[in-house]
Structure 1
Amino acid sequence: MSQLLRTSRVLAWFILTGLSVAILVASSLYLYLRPNLPEVEQLLDVRFETPLRVYSKDNRLIAEFGEKRRAPITIEQIPTIQLQAFLVAEDARFYEHFGVDIRGLTRAAIELISTGEIQSGGSTITMQVAKNYFLSRDRTFIRKFNEILLALQIERELNKTQILELYLNKIYLGNRAYGLAAASQVYYDKPVSELSLAQMAMLAGLPKAPSAFNPLANPERATIRRDWILGRMKELGFITEDAWSLAVNAPITASYNTRESEVDADYVAEMARAEMVQRFGEQAYTDGYSVTLTVESDKQTAATQALRRGLKDYDRRHGFRGAIGQFDVSGLSSDELSRQMLNYPRVEGLVPAVVTGIDDNQGQVSIHARRLGPGVMAFDTMTWARRYRTENQMGPEPEKPSDVVGVGDVVYVEVLQLPPVLVDANESEPEQNAGNTDSPQGTLPGELKVALSQVPRIEGALISLDAQTGAIEALAGGYSFSQSKYNRATQASRQVGSTFKPFLYLSALENGRTPATIYNDAPIVFEDSELETAWRPQNSSGQFYGPTTLREGLYRSRNLVSVRLLQDLGIRPTLDYLEQLKLPTDNMPANLSLSLGSGLLTPMELARGFAVIANGGYDVQPYLIEKIEDWEGKVVFRAPETRLCDRDCEQAEGELADETNELVSQESILDGLTLTPTEDEPEPRIMERLADERSVFMMHSIMQDVIRRGTGTRAQALGRSDLAGKTGTTNEQKDTWFAGFNHNIATTVWVGFDQPAPLGRSEFGASTALPIWVDYMKVALDSEPEATMARPNGLVSVRIDPQTGERARPGQDGTFELFKEENAPAPLTAEDLENGRASDDQDGLSRQIF
């Protein structure tokens, strides 16, 4: 008995000593760690890592940037049954414990000691909140103790509803989905409020092991986990027997869903992303900004499609370059062919396909297309495919399919007809996670029909501006952003050819010349000691046309007229005038080749220059971002409105500054971006006049003749009288352009190779760039009324002799021309009038609109 008593005392002493040591250690750890713990109050103002989203002006999604998909949600937006499913799965005693579940921790400790691993888990929802918001993922004792201390602190300062809302917005649920709302979209493409009971239970099973219980990667284990949760919900009385039976028998309906962009605008999206990172740093990806751009979805789609069509049309005109790959298809199964085709990417709607058989008698080719499986390609879709030799030469026309392709050739095709499909192949998993097969599931017997195509080597760009404000309405920087992120619209400085001439001619009109001024279109030779041969500029036709008015010289793009005009005006004064128009002159040559467009500009810079002409001569600066909203929907930036300024701009700006001083003092500055409070309007931007309105009006008239009777007649297909523009083609056809406008919109198109090379002797701006421009403007101007510049005061119309530029005598053939009043031809003399009677207006002037 005494032995038992002594043993009991020793045991009690060891237990008390152990408890004392444990308490001492815990207290020491608490005193050591407590000062370094974060303040729980931070959770009351938490900002979830939400991706950057970019929208078009009409609120259609263009792109989403950020590693984490998240869509914050309030507890009131979550159905009660969904909350119960998570509590059953993660923390059934959530409303009973004080942040730490002693039972759970004890059970986890026993499991760890007995089995060497924790099977049931010991973390409460509150502890997971502490870990997810404040702590690292390290598996250490110190981190776990911090987690417990923080959980206790969180429970003291927040209520259960707040804790649960924080948890459901932060928890990782696989496939880059953070939070319940994001997971609902990723797996089921619907809001939380529309989920079925089976789907709710499936999502509730993910926090424990987002990969192991993932319905896409491990559907069997995910189903077991779902059914266990449903069973527990039935035991606890959260759901009925019937509801449980329906849910456990429900098939898995999860699929991989990303927020698909609604507008094909990758180059624009990248511009917006770069601008946001420049202004906000890396936080732009996580702080939940929504950026609304100036681009309109219909115009942007039209720009992208028009550019691609135009580049493909050019590419086909120059023949078929052959297969992009080749492998032995003999004996390969459909699955093996599919695996081989994974080595070839899709490119903007073009699908790689391998030739598996050729029937010349039937005029048909059998193919196996990536993700689409077997199909056929008819010979009539291949007749264009003469073999490419050079930019000026192709092989003979093919007579049968085997003249174009061989068995095992990998080529790009366009899909003409899909076979009937029950389940879309894209609904299973993202392409990069595909399994061993690459063919769609659930297809019915049917025939896939395709047409031969190829990815163009030629490149191009289109930029369209609101000429009145500078807003970018559409931009396409190349054929395919996935192939090349190089934005040719903003980065490609290329020779502009004859599209430069309107600026030269505008300089002439500003310096006393008129549309009727005569220059001789005749041969000219310039000797230069630094050159091996003399420079002999020519017209593209190789012919010369003698005395020519400036009007005809521009709309017929006569090079010799432009050279003599620049020689007359002077190179330095002309460069000074370009700087007045705020055109970059760093890459402009200080020699007479400037007259023919040997200087370099980007399509954006050229479009901006044409916008100045389009709007009547006002400075306009392109911009892309219309407004920026933070994660709460508060507008932190809005593009300023524009204000035209004809005269006394400095005084107007001073008055404007006085009006806005108080506003600016209330604004905060972040990386140079003025963040204007939403209740205030941003300071308007002054658009000063850069060119005389009368000179600009005359330039409109001349450039309208480019379309009426010059090199841009293809634009007449639009059936409008308010259009003006200019084609451009550089030496050896290395760069081709068309830039055109009406009073409200200015659009520029460039076509060429990234590494300058000839496009072919038969290619000009009118054949490559202009069709793209027309294709785009057909949409951009749809339902838009004609917009022309109002005729300013101080202009007169005079009937002239186009051969001399002088006033026409009575009875003489003539044409009316525009002049500034001070530059109008001298009135007819009495001697001139002897040969006939003057018209009704004896001074020969007409002040009617020209």
Structure 2
Amino acid sequence: MKFIKRLLIIALICILFGVGTIFGFYIYVKPELPDVATLKDVELQTPMQVFSADGKLISQFGEKRRIPVTYDQIPQNLMNALIATEDSRFYEHPGIDPIGITRAAIVVAMSGSAKQGASTITQQLARNFFLSNEKKIMRKIKEIFIAIHIEQLLTKQEIMTLYVNKIFLGYRSYGFGAAARVYFGKELNELTLSEIATLAGMPKAPSTMNPIYSVERATHRRNVVLKRMLDEGYITRSDYEQARNEPLVARYHGAEIELNAPYVAELARAWAVDKYGADVYESGLKVYTTVDSRLQNSAQEATVNNLISYDQRHGYRGAVATLWKDKTTPWDADKIKAHLNKQPSYGELKPAVVTNVDAKTAEVELQNGDIATLPWNGMKWARRYVTDTRQGSAPKQAADILSAGEQIWVRNIDDTWHLSQVPDANTAMVAISPDNGAVKALVGGFNFVHSKFNRATQSIRQVGSSIKPFIYSAAIDQGMTLATLVNDAPINRWDASQGVAWRPKNSPPTYDGPTRARIGLAQSKNVMAVRVLRRVGLDETIDFLTRFGFKQDDLPRAEALALGAGSLTPMEMAQGFGVFANGGYYLKPYYIEKVEDAFGKLEYSATPQTICHENCDNPTNKRDSANLSEEENLLEQTAGMENEPEFAPKVVSEQNAFLVREMLEANIWGGGDWRQGTGWNGTGWRAQKPLNRRDIGGKTGTTNDSKDAWYTGFSPGLVATVWVGFDDHSRKLGKTSRNANLANDQVSGGEAGAKTAQPAWIDFMSDALVDVPEQRKVVPSDIVKVRIDRDTGLLTRKNDASSMFEYFQKGTEPTEYVSAAASNGGNIYESEGEELF
């Protein structure tokens, strides 16, 4: 009895000592313990996602991939697997498992180090939210106290839900919802028992036991989990055998991008960081852009195909690299595949290696190890590139182009592989709604991986003849009409400061004498534009152009402005043409429609400017929006976009906009009657047959020496700008000769806006307008239509091929008849020092 009493006393002392020790530890670490109540309102770190206006995923940003799920969405097999493997007494213990702790303590006592964790699911949750993974006794003590607090605060269901969503499972995936996507490309509720067991076994060592890193280790761990589930009675022997025998097939699945718009995604990312800060990457925000997925796909395809067409007609620059030469040992398939897997892909362009060349075909190995055949039709374009203005002779056989051992670029067109190459030149396109400024499509370059520089918003390039509509608009504002005669004759003015004569020329260098303004703009007559600029005045013209959002610093104070010496971005060009398309209103472009939080709550909604047609006394309408910079237009959308709608400023009259649209429509459709010998075309005539509708218009733009090619045009509800050029401002787009291997519809001669940029605009509009009915012309009030003489622009009583109807703003129509004024040359601009202006 004395022994028993002593034993009881010792036990009591040990208990009191243990309790006192635990209490002492608690008092010691209490100041360092976090407030576990924050778990009640925890915001799981999920990536920010960017979507199109119609809900297509464009991109996501954030280090942690997470797809939160509710308790009801967690598969029962997953909970059973976790409990069987990680914490078999999960529903019984108060946050810690005394048996597991005792086992771990024995290991510590015997080894002298903490080699075994014995952590419950609740303890793992505590560690993941509040602690590190270092194996130290003090960390374990903190973990125990936090786990107990968690159990007091949360239910078992809440703990399980947080654990399933929080745990790291490798490859930047946090939580089982994300892991299901990353490893198997499935939703959590679509996983098989084998796949569930694989994921459930990974928390022990997610970086090395995942099926991408090691299928063997992941399979072994999966089988351990399945055995534990069988032993605990969660699955039957049949379930166990079937899951155990299932092959483990996994690969990395990135975010399922549904829409290729990386330049838009980058704009949205920069906007979100500017508005919400760097923490936005873990906010779970859903940023919806204004981009229309169908239009974006059309823009992407049109610009890339057009750029590749430009590049290929200038010749083939040869292989990327030569891996082996003739009469040397060829590489085997595995070595080729390993090399190709290190090479990038640029959209449709894929790296390949030539393995065999026949008379009119070639075999290549692709990145995935497949062997593909390049037919003659897929490579006969590839005459040798000499310079941007010279190409070699057309190839006659495949050996003239390719050799075995060469690394090349290929792309698949209609299930047929074609030889290709990465273009040296680049491109951009932007399409906006002229009714509210929403960006509907944007392509910032050939490929975002190849170059992240956004040419649609950042590249300030000379605009060439694209500037002429704005100069003509300034002249209309001062009384010029579409029938006003401007002298289309060479200019020869001595520049005393330079000691040279300035002789601007038409392209092509043909001159028609006194010509109506409508024809001058539609046919892009350079000398006429200079004379129109002189009539308005250089300073007055520059001041007028700022109404369209153009910055004075980008508009040179020289008459060369009329020939396109000014520099703008494609975005600025599109927004400027939007003024003509919408009847005279300047609208700030915007590309963020709304932002939702991770749970769908609206965080931000854009309030774009509106076009006011009556009762327009809103004081915000008086703001000088036309002088806003590009950065203000595109990045500072937070100001004035979440409050009351702001009226767009009216910068030109409705009548002015209508008359400029008439000239832009003539750029495509020309005028006159071909059957009666009076027909003529504008520089944009190539859009006539493909689009075959009269409610479109536009303007070509080609800079001096053809360094930049532009086309900007409008259609119902849409304005689009295309630019093509080299990033190297000194490099010319050049010219091409005809390729004897190609059909008669090939492009040749000097590159220009109509040949180099307009084809992309046509292809884009062909798709964009498929379901858009042709609109009837709406003539504004105070616009009259009178019959004039084609040669003089004056009134006529004739009703034959010499006459036509023309639009005028009321009060500017001619008052004299041709018979009475034929002797003085009609209504001709005059200028001091020149007989005809």
Same fold (TM over 0.5): yes
The yes-or-no answer on 1:806 pairing with 2:773 is no
CA distance in 2, matches of 1:675, 1:688: 14
| Partner in structure 1 of residue 380 of structure 2 | 383
Aligned pairs for 1:517-536 within 5 A: 517-531=484-498, 533-536=500-503
SS in 2 for 1:491: coil
CA distance change for structure 1 residues 784 and 355 in 2, over 3 Å: closer, same or farther?
same
Counterpart secondary structure, 2:493 = coil
1:366 aligns with 2:354: no
Q: CA deviation at 1:115?
A: 4.7
**1:337 paired residue number:** 336
Which of 687, 692, 711 is 1:715 aligned to? 687
Q: Residues 671 and 484 (structure 1 numbering): CA distance in 2 closer, same or farther, change over 3 Å?
A: closer
Taking the TM superposition and a 5 Å limit, the aligned residue runs for 1:804-843 are 804-810=792-798, 813-828=802-817
Which residue of structure 2 lines up, in the alignment, with residue 394 of structure 1?
A: 391
Cα distance in structure 1, aligned partners of 2:765 and 2:107: 72
Rounded to whole Å, the distance in 1 between the matches of 2:212 and 2:153 is 39
Does the 8 A contact of 2:475 with 2:535 survive in 1? no
1:537-548 map, 5 Å: 537-548=504-515
Superposed counterparts of 1:160-179, under 5 Å: 160-179=156-175
- 1:653, distance to aligned residue in structure 2 (A): 4.9
Which residue number in structure 1 is paired with residue 75 of structure 2? 79
* CA deviation after TM superposition for structure 1 residue 116, in Å: 6.0
Q: Which amino acid aligns with 1:267?
A: Y
- 2: CA distance between counterparts of 1:104 and 1:727? 78
Find the residue that maps to 2:494 and give its secondary structure: coil
1:764 & 1:651 partners in 2: Cα distance? 44
Asked if 1:247 corresponds to 2:243, the answer is: yes
Please give the secondary structure, in 2, of the residue aligned with 1:527.
Answer: strand
Amino acid of the residue matched to residue 194 of structure 1? E
Tell me: CA distance 1:721–1:810, structure 2 relative to 1, closer, same or farther (3 Å).
closer
- Give the number of aligned pairs: 780
d(CA) in 2 for partners of 1:229, 1:416 = 47
Question: CA 1:490 to 1:451, structure 2 compared with 1: closer, same or farther past 3 Å?
Answer: same
Q: For each residue in 1:1-32, what CA deviation from the matched residue of structure 2 results, as whole angstroms up to 9, or x when unmatched?
A: 99xx89x97x9999888776665554333223
Query: What do the CA deviations read for 1:566-616 (whole angstroms, capped 9, x no partner)?
Result: 111101111111122332222101110111110000000000000111011
Q: How big is the shift at 1:394?
A: 0.8
Equivalent position to 1:310, from 306, 311, 315: 306
Structure 1: gaps of 5 or more residues: 419-448, 657-669, 834-850
2:666 maps to 705
Of 782, 788, 803, which residue of structure 1 is paired with 2:770?
Answer: 782
Aligned-residue offset at 1:671: 10
Which stretch shows the higher mean deviation, 521-530 or 626-635? 521-530
RMSD: 2.7
The answer for the alignment partner of 1:110 in structure 2 is 106
Contact 2:796-2:818 at 8 Å conserved across structures: no
CA distance in 2, matches of 1:306, 1:643: 30
Secondary structure in structure 2 of the residue aligned to 1:688: coil
Structure 1 residue 468 and structure 2 residue 435: aligned? yes
Residue 301 of structure 1 is matched in structure 2 by: 297
C-alpha distance in 1 between matches for 2:609 and 2:660? 24
Report the AA paired with residue 755 of structure 1. Answer: D
- Asked if the contact 1:637/1:674 (under 8 Å) is kept, the reply is no
1:424 aligned residue: none
Please point out which of 511, 520, 523 is paired with 2:478. 511
The reply to whether residue 346 of structure 1 matches residue 342 of structure 2 is: no
* 1:738 lines up with 2:711 in the alignment: yes
* 2:50–2:286 contact (8 Å) kept in structure 1: yes
Q: CA deviation at 1:203?
A: 1.3
The 1:672/1:507 distance shift into structure 2, 3 A limit, reads closer
Q: Which amino acid aligns with 1:364?
A: T
Which secondary structure does the structure 1 equivalent of 2:502 belong to? coil
Match of 1:748 in 2: 721
Distance 1:358 1:530 in 2: 62
Match of 1:262 among 258, 264, 283: 258
Q: Deviations over 1:735-766 (max 9, x none)?
A: 00000002411000000001121111411100
Q: 1:758 — aligned with what?
A: 732
Check conservation: 1:459, 1:753, Cα contact below 8 A.
Answer: yes
State the Cα distance separating 1:94 from its structure 2 match: 0.9
Could you tell me how far 1:220 is from its partner in structure 2? 2.0
| Cα distance in 1, alignment partners of residues 342 and 194 from structure 2 | 38
CA distance in structure 2 between the aligned counterparts of 1:822 and 1:412, rounded to whole angstroms:
62
Kept in 1, the 8 Å contact 2:353–2:365? The answer is yes
| Partner in structure 2 of residue 409 of structure 1 | 406
Q: Amino acid of the residue matched to residue 154 of structure 1?
A: I
**Structure 1 residue 474, shift from structure 2 partner:** 0.5
Secondary structure at the counterpart of residue 58 of structure 2: strand
C-alpha distance in 2 between matches for 1:552 and 1:172: 68
Q: Which residue is 2:591 aligned to? A: 624
Offset at residue 801 of structure 1 (A):
2.0
For the pair 1:771 / 2:763, whether they are aligned, the reply is no
Distance in 2, Cα, partners of 1:278 & 1:312: 35
- Percent of residue pairs bearing the same amino acid type: 41
Q: Relative to structure 2, which stretch is displaced further, 278-287 or 114-123?
A: 114-123
**TM-score, with length taken from structure 2:** 0.88
**Shift of residue 193 of structure 1?**
2.0
2: CA distance, partners of 1:314 / 1:368:
27
Q: Gaps (5+ residues) in structure 2?
A: 624-634, 670-680, 736-749, 823-837
CA distance in 1, matches of 2:765, 2:821: 48
Once the two structures are TM-superposed, the CA of residue 71 in structure 1 deviates from its matched residue by: 0.9
* 4+ residue segments displaced more than 6 Å: 11-21, 829-833
Give CA deviations for 1:212-238 in whole Å, capped at 9, x if unaligned: 321222222222222222222222222
User: Taking structure 1 as reference, are residues 535 and 141 closer, same or farther at Cα in structure 2, changes over 3 Å only?
Assistant: farther
1:575 to 539, 542, 545: 542
Change (3 A) 1:342 1:184: closer
| Alpha carbons 1:501, 1:595 under 8 Å: kept | yes
Aligned counterparts, 1:34-53, within 5 A: 34-53=30-49
Q: After TM superposition, give the deviation of residue 81 of structure 1 in Å.
A: 2.4
Please, which moves more after superposition, 771-780 or 526-535? Answer: 526-535
* Cα distance in 2 for residues equivalent to 1:829 and 1:753: 50
CA–CA distance in structure 1, aligned partners of residues 103 and 501 of structure 2: 95
